[in-house]
Structures are given as C-alpha cells and as structure tokens.
Amino acid sequence: MQQLSHVIGDEKILSRLLRWAQTFNHCCYLTANNQAKTYNIEYEQLLALGSKKTFHSLSPFSDHLKNTKNWHFTFLNYNLKEEIHLRDDKKTNVSLPNFFAFESEYLFVLEKGKVYSNTELSIIDDRLTTFENSNFKEPTHCSKTPLTSTISKKEYAWAFNKIQQHIQLGDIYEINYCQTFSSKKEINPISTFIQLNEKSKAPFSSFLKIEGQYILSFSPERFLQKKGKSIISQPIKGTRPRGKTKEEDLLMINDLKSSQKDRSENIMIVDLVRNDLSIIAEPTTVNVDELMAIKSFEGVHQMISTISCKIDDKISFEDIIKATFPMGSMTGAPKRKAMQLINKYESEPRNGFSGSIGYINPAGDFDFNVLIRSIIYNANYKQVKVPVGGAITIRSEMEDEYQECLDKIAIIKSALNNK
C-alpha cells in the first residue's frame, strides 16, 4: 500500500487515535461502516491528522494535483457554487470556507482489522502516550441539546406553496428545499460523532475539523467516485422511515417502490446527472447502471440510482467539479434556476450542508459523499446547526414533505437529547 507500509495495530487503536484527533487544527475521518464491499468503496476507514499543506481555492489546488502524488482530504462547501454558478449574499456565523483541502501529517488506513500508517509504530506509540499523559481537557457536552427549526411550520408551508407555483409556471420541475434546526449549546464533537455513527451506520460517514469548526456527517449518499478513467454518481431521491416490524418495513419498501412521485423525482435527477456528466465524459460513455434501487439504512429506506461515464486523462479535478457541483440531488432541475429559488426561499445559507467531503489518493482517484444527515458545529460560537430537506415536485404534499424532514433528522435529534 503506497506510503502506508507501517502496520501500527488493530482496530482497538482507533478510539485512541480519534481522541488524539481533537488536538489537531485539521483532521478528517471517513468510514464505510463495514459496507465498503456493498458500495464499492476502496477504503473501509481513513483517518488524516494534522496538515503539512492547506489549500483554500479550487483552481490552484487542481493545478497542484497534476504535480503531486500525495493524499489530499477535501471539503467542498455548498457555497462553492458562488464561484461556479451564482452568488448568495446571505450571511451566517457558521462560516466554513468555500473550499478546503489538506495534505495530512499522519495518515491511517483501517482495513481487515489492521491499521496501516505512513508513520512508524514507535513514533505513533510515543505521540499517543505523550497525549494520553497530558492534561488535555476534552470539550464538555450538554446533557440535552434540543433542536428547533429556524422557521415555523407555517413559514415552511408558505415557501412550499410558493415553490409549487414556480413549478406550475414551468420555472422548475423539482427543487430540494431545506430548513435548518439549530441549538446554542456546547457539544463534544468526537463523542457525538461516535455515538451517532454507531446508530446510523451510514456508508459515507465523515468527521471533519477545520480549526474550530466541525462537520459530523452520517451520509448514505455518494456524490462522485473516480477510479482510473471511470466516474460514478449515485443520487438519492425517495425516502421512507423504517418500520417497527418486518411486515411494516416491507410495506414501507413497497410503498416507496410504487410511488409515482418518488419515481419521477429520481428519474428527473438521473437525467440532470447524465447531463452534468456529459460535459466531461468521452462521447457515448454516459450510462445509467442502476435505476431506482431501494437501499435500507438504520433509520430510513432510500431510492438510489447509479450513473457512470468515462473521462479522458486530460480532464482535471477542477473540470469535474465545475461540471457536476453542487450535486443535482440537493438542488433540483433545472439546476441553475433551482439554486436561484433556493437562495430566495430558504431562511439561511446551507454552508457545509449539501456540500461534500472526500479524499483524493496518490493515483488521482477519489471518493466524495453528499453532506446530508449532518451536524455543522462551530465551537467558537457554541452553535449547532442541522439542516434537512427534501424534494418538492408538482405531486408533493406539504404535510408529507414536512414529515420527511422530521424522519430524516430523528436519529440526530434523539442523540443530541440523550434519548
């Protein structure tokens, strides 16, 4: 394994490494939660601590990738659309950068029960021992962190009706409309992530720290994966809660499978992704590999499609991102008009939500998630934000869409309230 020739232990060391991670200004943890094979994920778990180099702009970073063979852990803020598509003047005190990438000081890959590192065991053991013998004080965690939406249900209904008017006028076909739940409380980011990750077990979960700001994501959705010349995207559209019994669970799956509203949502976004990929794809290589497959997660059932293409070696990372970001599943169709209406009707900026976290390996291959089911935490302001949304089409019913938001956020709300 290139640059990771040192075996430093087994999975028992992970909890020690994650506690140590809190002392670094930058760190990133990606885990497939034992579903790497199911979702064709290259690495079961990756952990990057510390930064040798940092990057804050897409263009110079893309040029840098052409001349390096190092690992990079990368964050794409939804607000990166300002540099690619259009500007959103809304302000928030959760001010994550539009783009951030770093080369890590320490890198760990956890596979098949073993932990590989770019650093020798003796050095890691010494650093961990020094940390564990220090007087490091972990962040406290409030016993209860109740989340309250920044808009009322009445305000949600008003925006919903306005959006459906735009659909009736033909301005858009579909839009992903979000609301934000928030709390002014202190949390322990690492312990909160570990607790929620054990409950959600999502295949694209991630933990990111950039200075005093954190993203804790329990995402079931892949944005983009590149392996060699192949790229795949796997948008999610269509959600049902898990049933309390096997029989109820099966009813939920069958209801999702047969829903014309959810099927039309999914197909519209598949067409959008096909169009995005065609900008960078070699001719005739865009293909829908799987359409409207039902996948079950701890809290919900989801309808997922897979779209792929082949790209030329000359296509850069920047070319790929500019053609595809932000992901269509989190905007709507047509994408540009949907983003304009998102700016108009959502109560505050999404910031990291609807963005992406992932890695780029030395071969130039990468895997990025979609930042949904996520907590955005600013330790400086002691502020917790949990945005959540869903697709609105002409067939959508307001009560159903509002309830879908509550279903998606249920596990996070429960954990933050220690239930």
| Residues assigned a catalytic role | 221, 237
How many of the other CB atoms lie within 10 Å of CB of 42? 16
Phi then psi for residue 251, to 5 deg, are: -60, -40
Q: What is the CA radius of gyration of the chain?
A: 21
| Beta-strand pair 300-310/6-10 | unpaired
**Hey, what amino acid is at 215?**
I
Contact 286, 277 (CB under 8 A): yes
CA–CA gap between residue 369 and residue 204 (Å, rounded) = 6
* Residue in 302, 306, 291 with CA at minimum distance from that of residue 391: 302
Surface-to-core class of residue 11, CB atoms within 10 Å of its CB (0-12 exposed, 13-18 middle, 19+ buried): middle
Q: Report the sign of the C-alpha dihedral through residues 110, 63, 309, 271, in that order.
A: positive
Residues 108 and 124: their CA atoms lie apart, in Å, by 11
